[in-house]
Amino acid sequence: MPAYIHHHDDTEPAFVICPSCVGIPMYVRDVEPHWSMAKIDFTYECADCGAQVRQTIVKPESRH
């Protein structure tokens, strides 16, 4: 496997449900990586009501 292929099993964002509509899945509207790539901010938006939710994913420590 080439060195540049990277699997993101531990850092995949969770499935987000709209808190206002209760049950409607939200889509990713914006992704903002931090300069160190240790954190990534995801902004989700509901297609029905327009509510937004922001979630920060932190890169897990290396397990070597």
Domain with 30, as residue range(s), is 8-64
Query: Number of structural domains, the chain?
Result: 1
Q: Which of 57, 13, 12, 18 is nearest to 39 (CA)?
A: 57
Burial 47-64 (b: 16+ CB within 10 A, else e): eeeeeebeeebeeeeeee
Predicted pLDDT at 1 = 46
User: pLDDT tens digits for the chain (64 residues)?
Assistant: 445 445 555 555 567 888 888 888 888 999 888 877 788 889 999 988 989 989 888 877 666 5
Query: What CATH number has the domain bearing residue 38?
Result: 2.30.30
Predicted pLDDT at 13 = 55
Predicted pLDDT at 9 = 52
Predicted pLDDT at 45 = 93
Burial 22-40 (b: 16+ CB within 10 A, else e): eeeebeeeeeeeeeeeeeb
In a domain, 2, yes or no: no
Predicted pLDDT at 44 = 92
In a domain, 3, yes or no: no
